[in-house]
Amino acid sequence: MMAQYLALREDAGDCLLFYRMGDFFELFFEDAKTAAAILDIALTTRGEHAGAPIPMCGVPVHAAEGYLARLIKAGCRVAIAEQTETPAEAKKRGGYKALVARDIVRFVTAGTLTEESLLEPRRANVLAATCEVRGAVGIAAVDISTGRMELEECAPANLPAALARIGASELVVPEGWELAPESAIARSAHEFSSEGGEARLKLVHGVATLDGFGTFTRPMLAAAGGLIAYLDHVGRGNLPLLLPPEARRGDAVLAMDEATRASLEILESSGGGRKGSLIDAIDRCVTGAGARQLADDLSAPLTDRLAIAERLEMVEWLHDDPLLREDLRTSLRALPDLGRALGRVVAGRGSPRDLGQLRDGLSGARSVGERLAGMDGLPVLLERLLPALGGHAALVDHFARALVESPPTERGQGGYIAASYDAALDELRVMSGNARRAIAALEAKYREETGVSALKIKHNNVLGYFVEVPQRHADRLLEADSGFSHRQTMAGAMRFNALALHEEAARITEAGAHALAAEESHFEALVGEAVAARRGIAATAAALARIDVAAGQAERAAEGGWTKPQVVDGLSLEIAGGRHPVVEDALARQGERFVANDCRLASHDRLWLIGGPNMGGKSTFLRQNALIVLLAQAGGFVPARSARIGMVDRLFSRVGASDNLARGRSTFMVEMVETAAILAQATPASFVILDEVGRGTSTYDGLALAWAVAEAVHETNRCRCLFATHYHELARLAETCEALSLHHVRAREWKGDLVLLHELAEGPADRSYGLAVARLAGVPPKVISRAKSVLEKLEKGRAETGGLAAGLGDLPLFAAAQVTREAECDTLREKLRDMDVDALAPRDALEILYDLKREAGSDTQ
């Protein structure tokens, strides 16, 4: 046995090996130590290997899914080794001592889960693969629980942002790739071939060309090849549900880097988990599929104005008809997760219950479609979805006749095929039932003949049917002419066999076995029917999810008084009475009111410099406007009185302080890296929020950086930007930057206490109220008093010397300095262009080099 185990262990690679032994999955050696620690189960030993006891632990097969979930959550991967023959087959093959054959039938990994108990209902579980082909990166991503597959291409520099948007549970990359994230799983580079990927996709979908699915680049196909090869490996040749791939253009969605996503807390709060995130505040979906679709919408807001308008039209239609909305939500709430049930069936892990969910889900979808089909003024998007809701009538009817009303999760015991569906099966069930009644009659007969009222006919999986009597009555059955033969002696009882019992048991076993075989045959036929209709069923599931998202968005808008935004061409950003959805929710739970504020950016006023005290609401104001843009382009209503938003191509958020010590980055280094990314990537169509740039270093360094960054945003990036700062000196920029305006959050001191008004007003902030905030935080009075005296001296010195900003009024703009440098470069280019290099003597060439160094201001010594 140990030789067999070690061979399988080598095949399992870096996975833990679940080795099936009877009713348990056993783990040995280091696997056992690892699993016992994570699962908090007993670690024992079994036998010896190389003279040392072998560590061992195990989990029951019937409860394995719960243990697998904990192992996967802890970052482990698990190989499942099952028995591939019965003990009887092994005995027939190799004699009494033959070892039952085992093989790894599946690898369980974070990105390849399909089991209902291992997945979060409201969160997609994505597996991704990525690679580089001739300077371009291809990405393939699939949620195998529903089969949805997307392919895209991006520049190497944009890979982190793309992966942050996808949020894969598991990432597969080619071995030795220098751009691979540390947590990625490396596979052979040969699997990432564009030709191989194209061939695999054609084979999976049974087509001669991929043209009907879209246009795919070589990097996309290479990534798809690596993804499918990995799925083939973990499934041991049994591929999961894979729908036709969709090509996603990089410019089709609002670009956001990883830092921006974390800062805006879109799907996960800064503390980890869903609570406190944007999706937690707005998700009113009544199905898991709808919640997953909403998460995808928020992760990848659109940049196609027509597609956004179609989503908004559907939300508005449902918002304006609350009775219809409630009817739809009630119907949707009763439906099973159609997409995931289909995923399990196609992957070969389906159950009778999954087939029942397909039946019920498709039937419910048809009812929803019929409810909507007769209505006037249907939104364009909803009209396109209706055909997907009305199909599958024959399949639903067939499944309704074939399956019992509530099929079981296990098919081993049968009982899921409905009566009257198969006359032969019904007859076998009658035979089995009659045989059981015959067993009961036989038990009564034996009691009467022996006079032992305590006699019972029992059954177990080892002995089958047998007669059992208490030990004190055993003598009567041991008599030679009793008709009973001794079978087993127990501590307080004896067990016997009898000819009539053996004959009835054989009839029961035969009828039961035939009935189970018949049900299994019907199950496989029903699975085949579902697999053949998988694309249509998946389309129905997607349509239901989209309707749920629209109804949920409409419900949230009705709850909070949200409004339909206008998403237009151009660079305006006009938000009246904007609110932060997460903060507003938190305040409402405390019985407090959120103070709304306006934000109006335009080409002549695109950079707002915002001052005011800490806790005054600057960061909230910045984030709420970014979230309103995101919600609008995701196709939902927004928390504002009105909103007119010029399409944003990239969204950047540099708000809040954090470090990344694991990568050797301090808080200030992280801030500078994020700021550098904004300055390098923001376009005039982008929207940027910046908070306290430069505060992580010395006052002079910080002010200089904040000044230069503000100038660069104004002159070079020329994007819409909200720039919050405590550097009052930056107000001088308004004198030279024509598209910059000054604003502040209002606050007042009343009888020594700070009153934060959370209102935005025009003009510069008069002060930061830092000491007042420190007092609110509980800083000791002596420290506050000392700080006040130091502040008075500093302010006196600033008044006498002109302060930190003295002389900054004469500082040329960022763009002006750039113009000067460019002029100098042009002069140099002219000199070099007019020079006849071939005619120069060596000494003349050396003199020219010295002249160029002098002009550049370098030392010529």
pLDDT digits 0-9 by tens, 688-710: 999 988 777 777 888 889 999 99
Q: What is the pLDDT of residue 330?
A: 97
HSE-CB at 685 with a 13 A cutoff on CA atoms is 12
pLDDT at 837: 77
Per-residue pLDDT, 711 = 94
Q: Which two tokens stand for residue 262?
A: 């974390």
DSSP code at position 741? E
pLDDT of residue 860: 43
Residue 790, C-beta contacts closer than 8 angstroms, at least 6 positions apart: none
Burial of 365-403, coded b for 16+ CB within 10 Å and e otherwise, reads: bbebbeebeeeeebbebbeebeebbebbeebbebbeebb
By DSSP bridging, strand 573-578 and strand 597-601 are: antiparallel
Q: How far apart are CA 77 and CA 13, in angstroms?
A: 10
Model pLDDT, residue 533: 96
Residue 725: strand, helix, or coil: coil
CB neighbours of residue 806 within 10 Å: 11
Is 748 exposed, middle or buried, given 0-12, 13-18 or 19+ CB atoms closer than 10 A? Answer: exposed
> In this structure, what token pair is assigned to residue 790?
């130091």
Which pair of tokens denotes residue 556? 């949230």
Return the structure tokens found at 423: 């006359």
Residue where the block lists tokens 């008084």:
561
Phi, psi of 468 (to 5 degrees): -125, 135
Give the residues of the chain that fall short of pLDDT 50: 661-662, 859-861
- CA-to-CA separations, 488 to 227, 477, 621, in angstroms, rounded: 57, 13, 81
Q: How much is the pLDDT for 716? A: 95
> Rounded to whole angstroms, what are the CA distances from 415 to 408, 422, 527?
8, 13, 17
Q: For the chain, first and last CA: distance in Å?
A: 81
